[in-house]
Amino acid sequence: KAGVTQTPRYLIKTRGQQVTLSCSPISGHRSVSWYQQTPGQGLQFLFEYFSETQRNKGNFPGRFSGRQFSNSRSEMNVSTLELGDSALYLCASSAEGNEQFFGPGTRLTVL
């Protein structure tokens, strides 16, 4: 079974720009969760989608948004980028939401 894929793997943006990250879950999984990982804060939950509905949300500003498509692929968007948004963004795939399998991540650098 193919694992979780994330594109792109690396991104460099400047402050004020917006960015869209993509995640393809394991075949058959309907839950996709997104996390931000930084050296200072560790892994922090952004949001989770299950069957195209946002089921859970973390404590991030509204600049962070996401969506899920009917084929379970998910995207997250960050608008008006700030320097502090530089991080590794990870998505995780799950059949029901708890046993989560992570992708390789997208490393975002904001200049």
Partner 1 sequence: QKEVEQDPGPLSVPEGAIVSLNCTYSNSAFQYFMWYRQYSRKGPELLMYTYSSGNKEDGRFTAQVDKSSKYISLFIRDSQPSDSATYLCAMSGSWGKLQFGAGTQVVVTP
Binding site for partner 1 (CB under 8 A): 4, 31, 33, 35, 42-45, 48-50, 55-56, 58, 90, 92, 94, 96-105, 107
Full 3-state SS string of 37-80: EECCCEEEEEEEEECCEEEEECCCCCCEEEEECCCCCEEEEECC
Nearer to partner 1, 15 or 55 (CB): 55
Joined together, the tokens standing for residue 86 give 């530089």
18 in Cβ contact with 10 (< 8 Å): no
* Shortest distance in whole angstroms from residue 109 CB to partner 1: 13
* Shortest distance in whole angstroms from residue 16 CB to partner 1: 27
* Shortest distance in whole angstroms from residue 47 CB to partner 1: 8
- Of the candidates 9, 41, 5, the one whose C-alpha atom is nearest the C-alpha of residue 25 is 5
Nearer to partner 1, 67 or 101 (CB): 101
Nearer to partner 1, 13 or 88 (CB): 88
